[in-house]
Amino acid sequence: MTRDAFENAITVVMALGGSTNAVLHLLAIAHAANVELTIDDFNTFQKKVPHLADLKPSGKYVFRDLYSVGGVQAVMKYLYENGYLHGDCMTVTGKTLAENLKDAPSLKEGQKVIMPLEHPKRKDGPLIILHGNLAPDGAVIKVAGLKARRHEGPAKVFDNEEDAIDAAMADEIVDGDVVVVRFVGPKGGPGMPEMLSLSGILVGKGQGETVALLTDGRFSGGSHGFVVGHIAPEAQDAGPIAYLHTGDTVVIDQDTREITMKVSDEEMAKRRKETKIPPLYSRGVLGKYAHLVSSSSEGATTDFWKKD
């Protein structure tokens, strides 16, 4: 596992429109392998790797369709032949990536699952790292198939997914809202659960583009719509999201790569004094995990010796 190997992995994820979880997992693997990789490295590749795969949930085809036209290897061969992958990177086969791809199938002629580099589904990658006063350490948005490039609206804040689901089912979430689910990050979950149920409900109600969903938790690869996850620092770690109030204006902008809340520094200082963060979960394995785990922006690793 080398820096080049991780760069290859990120490139393939961007081209295929992979899950937001790829950010979390690749950061964690790189940490375990002592390879220097940061959350902001993903934006470097997002800017230069186009999104090619017309796959669900934002596209037309499913993974079986990709397999039938050559599979992931064929996509990698196409990317390598066009200068997007490190061919001299050693792999687990004992051969370089270029050697592995030499005899791999090419994409079937006439296939429509993978769009050509000249006419990509999107000219840049679909996973964007956002920063701002709501997520100083970063957050991840997946913009595959997303028409809206900016969302500004009032926050509706919930401290767990269940309450947010109840509000959505009761039609209390309206177009323009920014639904916020917090205290579900690595420490707060504990374990950073997926918000797939809530995002699925919003999409099912036709609000996938008109309502933004923010969380310090994470999403399934099956989630789509205007969703932002991995907000860091998380609420349990006294991140700014812990002090967001219902009614505050939140702005998400994929072009500027910003996620901000229109709350003054003075008001934030006041809220920090007045708001009490609940204690960490403290029982069993989850309690140990909650006390050891790092930020999602670092891969949610549990190397306790890294702690201050």
Domains and CATH numbers, the chain: 3-103 (no CATH), 127-274 (3.50.30.80)
* Whole-number Å distance between alpha carbons of 207 and 172: 12
Closest listed residue to residue 86, CA positions, set 100, 65, 71: 100
pLDDT tens column, 10-36:
999 999 999 999 999 999 999 999 999
Mean pLDDT of 171-186: 97
Residue 170 has pLDDT above 70, yes or no: yes
Closest listed residue to residue 219, CA positions, set 188, 194, 244, 187: 194
Asked if 150 and 174 count as a contact pair (C-beta separation under 8 A), the reply is no
* Whole-number Å distance between alpha carbons of 93 and 104: 14
Question: Out of 58-67, 148-157, 170-179, 297-306, which region has the weakest mean confidence (pLDDT)?
Answer: 297-306
Residue 50 has pLDDT above 60, yes or no: yes
Please, how many CA atoms are within 13 Å of residue 152, restricted to the half-sphere of its CB? 7
- Tokens standing for residue 22: 């790829």
pLDDT at 304: 64
Residue 306 has pLDDT above 80, yes or no: no
pLDDT tens column, 143-168:
988 888 999 999 999 999 999 999 99
SS3 content of the chain, % helix, strand, coil (to 5): 35, 20, 45
Q: pLDDT band for 225, please (50, 70, 90 cuts).
A: confident
pLDDT tens column, 195-205:
989 999 999 99
Q: What backbone torsions phi and psi does residue 299 show, to the nearest 5 degrees?
A: 95, 5
Q: Dihedral of CA 56/158/216/139: which sign? A: positive
* Whole-number Å distance between alpha carbons of 157 and 140: 19
Residues marked active site are found at 220
pLDDT at 305: 57
**% of the chain surpassing 90 pLDDT:** 91
- Tokens standing for residue 93: 């086969």
- Tokens standing for residue 252: 């998400």
pLDDT at 220: 83
- Tokens standing for residue 129: 């790292």
In this structure, are strands 258-261 and 135-142 parallel, antiparallel, or unpaired? Answer: unpaired
* Whole-number Å distance between alpha carbons of 140 and 41: 12
* Whole-number Å distance between alpha carbons of 45 and 4: 12
pLDDT tens column, 86-112:
999 999 999 999 999 999 999 999 999
pLDDT at 147: 85
Q: Give me the chain's average pLDDT, please.
A: 95
pLDDT at 273: 96
Residue 249 has pLDDT above 70, yes or no: yes
Mean pLDDT of 109-134: 97
- Tokens standing for residue 67: 């397999």
- Tokens standing for residue 221: 């690869």
Residue 216 has pLDDT above 80, yes or no: yes
Beta bridge partners of 135: 132
